Structure 1
């Protein structure tokens, strides 16, 4: 028996669909609070010392947190090649904007304190704001467009044609999802500042975080209502084999009003995901008001996990629907790499992913504790 036959093709496809979700959630719950702190920086800190406190709550860990984004991109490239080809080419300008914003972050960290000039530091502080706000918004906008369908198609020879434009991505529903993403990460960044910062920075973060948690509840509800009443979901109307070839053109797909909600009737247990999204945000709001620092962050993570899971479960088995040619839509069953490739990658993942988790946990344990004025003004400090 060939080794990769130990796990059948269908199971491997499901495992990699789940792993992709895990990597996206890991990125949102770790680097998400980095983006949230960057977005909040000009508003929770009123002077240079306070801004240094906010920056140093994430300064020691942001690089490690960004690893999850790289792992997610790598997983898409290796496990779902058509998804990588369509999304990274069709969303090229959006990806460029995200990368440009993310590049501002390390430069801002390294250069803002190189000169003792208020104007110089203020400029880099706004660069850090851009580095937090722009990715937060565009990631949500991208998800909103995926739920509506992306304008691409496959030719008979499997060449990909994308016929959309950057500004077409900025439609009302996508912007609603973008605002939800911003609110979600502001809530998360606030929870992190409440946990790690002290004094006025933590107090202001608590106020912003409370408002953001309420905004998450409202925007998440509006997004779901819009999916039910205003956006057609996709449904496979032909036979499709879970172990069939990776050829999206071998199926028939139709659009159905409220189609993205049908999975909850077929698999009632999936309702747990949106419930976690709502309850996590509500619990984070209550915990912020009660000044419960650790559980605030945990509830915020729970809300993010629920919201991201809701998107994936609602769309299953679709991973990238096509608004231009529905049968070209990519699904879990027809957009993956080969059986052998998925198996080899799984073996590598089983070995290295626990190491990454363990190392990350160790780093946070070592760096545990609050950032206060003394820690950033001490002349022997290595703080930013």
Structure 2
């Protein structure tokens, strides 16, 4: 079956969005547990329960992050090159904190000393807290435009600084991201723990669900007043990729254009807020499984809202709006997208199947007694 170039470009926009949502849902609950580690785990045994709740899955779940980066490189090379240059120090901060995860899990319980274990608990907390905040800050800067441009040979140049990324709106988006990821971790712990840790996880889920809904609504109200980007000429869906072959207008409220044209898109922010509030209520009632589903829908609603608001823009340029990268002019060739489409069509269901099998095999809560019984092999 032959798929035309514009359709392939749109399909890959959807697929990368699915990968981002998959990362938020799967690796998100691991990062959320790390963020909650100092508060839900009050002693060494309880903290080991939390670590072993995600222990069988955390490294496999990071495949979503790696796959997302690989898909970004293969489908949208302009985005990969420009983003990793412009957000270089932010990306390094994410990687440095993620480096702490494998060593933290493996070394934390090797020695019985409180100082040793406390150090690695702090490392795991940082590795859970920092990446979601930075990812949210990055999205906040995308919505405001990133200071880059291209020369006549399409070589990118970036004029921003790391500290300029930490502006008020971007920090608000960082808080939204942190709240929704921590919410995901709290709902997962309701399923995987018992007794006092579970009670604390329920309270954390109630609070973080409400926080995610409130912060997301506040960010949405801010976005409606932000200067947004709109293509007024060029950027034909079937043309070869050339980011300079279009004209872009910047004006307040432009990010709301897609919602005016397609009112059904309002379902995405509605799902994000409603699912967060429902998940908070379900957590209060101890319905861990349903709360986790609601939290997962929160991730999908929030990420879907961000992507749909910007479409077809992927990385707007505040320095030269006409150089903004979009779905229609930043992608790889038609052949590349077509080959990757069939690869994704085959392997994505396989990944979902074996991941589901792993969670089924390792289902059930982790208890203090189980950790003590397997003290030498457990995290």
After TM superposition, the structure 1 = structure 2 runs for residues 177-216 of structure 1, keeping only pairs within 5 Å, are: 177-216=173-212
| Partner residue of 1:280 out of 275, 281, 284 | 275
* Aligned 8 A contact 1:38 1:132 in 2: yes
After TM superposition, the structure 1 = structure 2 runs for residues 231-310 of structure 1, keeping only pairs within 5 Å, are: 231-310=226-305
Name 1:70's counterpart in structure 2. 66
Name 1:127's counterpart in structure 2. 123
- Secondary structure of the equivalent of 1:248? coil
| Partner residue of 2:29 out of 23, 28, 33 | 33
| Partner residue of 2:306 out of 305, 311, 315 | 311
| Partner residue of 2:315 out of 311, 320, 323 | 320
Unaligned residue ranges in structure 1 (runs of 5+): none
* Aligned 8 A contact 2:314 2:327 in 1: yes
| Partner residue of 1:377 out of 353, 372, 376 | 372
Measured after TM superposition, the shift of residue 380 of structure 1 is 6.7
Runs of 4+, deviation exceeding 6 Å: none
| Partner residue of 1:105 out of 92, 101, 115 | 101
* Aligned 8 A contact 2:242 2:329 in 1: yes
Measured after TM superposition, the shift of residue 379 of structure 1 is 4.2
* Aligned 8 A contact 2:33 2:182 in 1: yes
Distance 1:58 1:147 in 2: 33
* TM-score, L = length of structure 1: 0.97
Unaligned residue ranges in structure 2 (runs of 5+): none
Name 1:344's counterpart in structure 2. 339
* TM-score, L = length of structure 2: 0.99
* Aligned 8 A contact 1:35 1:189 in 2: yes
Distance 2:352 2:143 in 1: 30
Measured after TM superposition, the shift of residue 239 of structure 1 is 3.5
- Secondary structure of the equivalent of 1:235? strand
Distance 1:380 1:121 in 2: 14
Distance 2:334 2:179 in 1: 39
1:227 aligns with 2:223: yes
Corresponding pairs, count: 379
Measured after TM superposition, the shift of residue 382 of structure 1 is 2.7
1:217 aligns with 2:213: yes
Name 1:93's counterpart in structure 2. 89
Question: For the aligned residues, what is the CA RMSD?
Answer: 0.9
Distance 2:376 2:280 in 1: 34
Distance 1:203 1:143 in 2: 33
1:155-209 C-alpha deviation (Å, 9 max, x unpaired): 1110100111000000000000001111111111100111111111111111111
1:335 aligns with 2:335: no
- Secondary structure of the equivalent of 2:230? strand
Distance 2:375 2:156 in 1: 56
Distance 1:131 1:115 in 2: 21
1:358-379 C-alpha deviation (Å, 9 max, x unpaired): 1111111111110001110004
* Aligned 8 A contact 1:375 1:381 in 2: no
- Secondary structure of the equivalent of 1:217? helix
Distance 2:320 2:224 in 1: 22
1:289-316 C-alpha deviation (Å, 9 max, x unpaired): 1111100000000011000000000001
Distance 1:379 1:189 in 2: 24
- Secondary structure of the equivalent of 1:252? strand
